[in-house]
């Protein structure tokens, strides 16, 4: 079986992931953390913009803990 690798697709994913999110708030960081806690981490809910400031990072982890707790109770 011959395998090919999509370098163009990889480049697109990397360039999109490296763009900062606009208007990141504590609430959005907490929601992203909750999503990560309940459904698992993805590039969308673990975007580097949620960790750019200490306050945002703290809210992301707060949401993550809440999401994990909700997932385990269900």
37 and 8 Cβ atoms separated by less than 8 Å: no
Confidence bin at 13 (pLDDT 50/70/90): low
The model carries a pTM of 0.75
Instruction: Tell me the pLDDT band of 74, cut-offs 50, 70 and 90.
Output: low
Q: Please say if the pLDDT value at position 55 is more than 70.
A: yes
Q: Residue 47: which pLDDT band, with cuts at 50, 70 and 90?
A: very high
Give residues with Cβ within 8 angstroms of 50, minimum separation 6. 21, 24, 28, 29, 32, 33, 56, 57, 60
């Amino acid at each position: 079986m011959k395998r090919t690798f999509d370098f163009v697709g990889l480049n697109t994913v990397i360039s999109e992931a490296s763009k900062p999110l606009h208007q990141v708030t504590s609430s959005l960081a907490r929601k992203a953390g909750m999503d990560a806690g309940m459904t698992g981490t993805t590039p969308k809910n673990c975007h580097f913009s949620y960790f750019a400031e200490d306050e945002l990072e703290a809210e992301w982890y707060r949401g993550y803990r809440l999401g994990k707790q909700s997932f385990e109770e269900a």
